[in-house]
Amino acid sequence: MFYFAVIFYLDDMSTKTRNMISFDWAMKRLLRNKANFEVLEGFLSELLGRKIIIRNIGESEGNPSDKDDKTNKVDIFVEADDSELVIIELQYDSQDDFFKRMLYGVSKSITDHMDKGDPYSEVRKVYSVNIVYFDLGEGDDYVYHGVTHFKGLHTQNELHLTVKQQQVFWKSFIGDLYPEYYIIKVRGFNDVAKNTLDEWIFYLKNDQIRDDFTAQGLDKARELLAYDNLTDEEKKAYWRDIENRRNRDSEIVTAFSDGEIKGRAEGRSEGEVIGETKTLERIVIEGKSNGFSLEQIQSFTKLNIEQIIWILTRHGLL
């Protein structure tokens, strides 16, 4: 018994792990190509627990046209073959109102895909898939799923669709008609892949795929997303993107660590609402909300205009 245990351990340790490009860069540059839909189809199939076929990937705010794009977030908009809509959002930096942003994205997708005069039966199902690299909310899991339920206040019984409604909508439960939300907190994953969805999250966290992983879409990802398979021009663009992200992070960290200011009388401008312990980011947000111009915000934060624009854009205020 001991002999076989040792052999198994050595074999497991010898499993090869391949270095891949980051998923955010793949979303921006490669996965929007119809020939590469198989990768996202595999990821969504593992997450939603059923086969997903992508009909189209539409334009979104995270689809960059500039090679020096410095955004900390990426989004991609998917239309599935059964008329369902999927929003995939990936973000690195913390955002206090991220839950509201999820709601806004879903609401906008629903209304954008309704023509004037359409009956409510034409409202399309939306899935909001959010891949975050910061600690969003409080919880001890790394994958969360949000659905809509209606429960009686007195009986606690759940409200169900009638047989006729099930036939009309081709759905079994009321929650099937409403948006669903998924949150993957990448950095909360412990690197132990217990199932095929975990294999995907392992890649999202480490930019690596092990040869023994069998999740849907990973075979295509091994071929398409391997760094060594990029062209010379793609490799240059990839490292330029990483360097841009590092520079942006460094600028913001430096500004916040050096520039945290207190709400003292001598530092206040007219109408300024600076709390005693608030950071520069909060000051920028509140300054914008209270009608200050970029130049006024710059005067009492000492940030440069580019940093202020970046903060406001990140919070959807520009």
Same domain for 255 and 191: no
The two structure tokens encoding residue 229: 């398979």
Looking at residue 14, its pLDDT comes to 54
| Consecutive H or E run containing 248 | helix 232-259
| pLDDT band, very low/low/confident/very high, at 204 (cuts 50, 70, 90) | very high
Looking at residue 1, its pLDDT comes to 42
Same domain for 259 and 124: no
| pLDDT band, very low/low/confident/very high, at 8 (cuts 50, 70, 90) | very low
Rounded Cα gap, residues 314 and 318, in angstroms? 8
Single residue among 175, 196, 231 that ends a domain in this structure? 231
Single residue among 179, 203, 231 that ends a domain in this structure? 231
Q: Which residue has the higher pLDDT, 276 or 258?
A: 258
Same domain for 151 and 97: yes
| pLDDT band, very low/low/confident/very high, at 100 (cuts 50, 70, 90) | very high
Same domain for 65 and 128: yes
- Domain extent, residue 164, equals 2-231
Rounded Cα gap, residues 160 and 165, in angstroms? 10
Same domain for 241 and 122: no
Helix, coil or strand: residue 279: coil
What's the whole-number mean pLDDT along residues 66-86?
74
Question: pTM to 2 decimals?
Answer: 0.73
Single residue among 214, 231, 248 that ends a domain in this structure? 231
Same domain for 102 and 26: yes
Same domain for 247 and 215: no
Same domain for 139 and 15: yes
What's the whole-number mean pLDDT along residues 277-301?
74
Same domain for 222 and 267: no
CA distances for 180 relative to 40, 86, 120, 189, 196, angstroms: 18, 10, 18, 22, 21
Same domain for 278 and 216: no
| Consecutive H or E run containing 309 | helix 305-314
Same domain for 158 and 60: yes
Rounded Cα gap, residues 163 and 168, in angstroms? 9
Instruction: Write out pLDDT tens, residues 31-51.
Output: 999 999 999 999 999 999 999
Instruction: Write out pLDDT tens, residues 138-160.
Output: 899 999 999 999 999 999 999 99
| Consecutive H or E run containing 127 | strand 126-132
Q: Which residue has the higher pLDDT, 19 or 259?
A: 19
Q: What mean pLDDT, rounded, does the chain reach?
A: 81
Instruction: Provide the number of structural domains found in the chain.
Output: 2
pLDDT of 98 higher than 70: yes
Looking at residue 249, its pLDDT comes to 59
Same domain for 222 and 150: yes
Contact 40, 9 (CB under 8 A): no
Looking at residue 252, its pLDDT comes to 54
CA angle 98, 100, 103 (to 5 degrees): 115
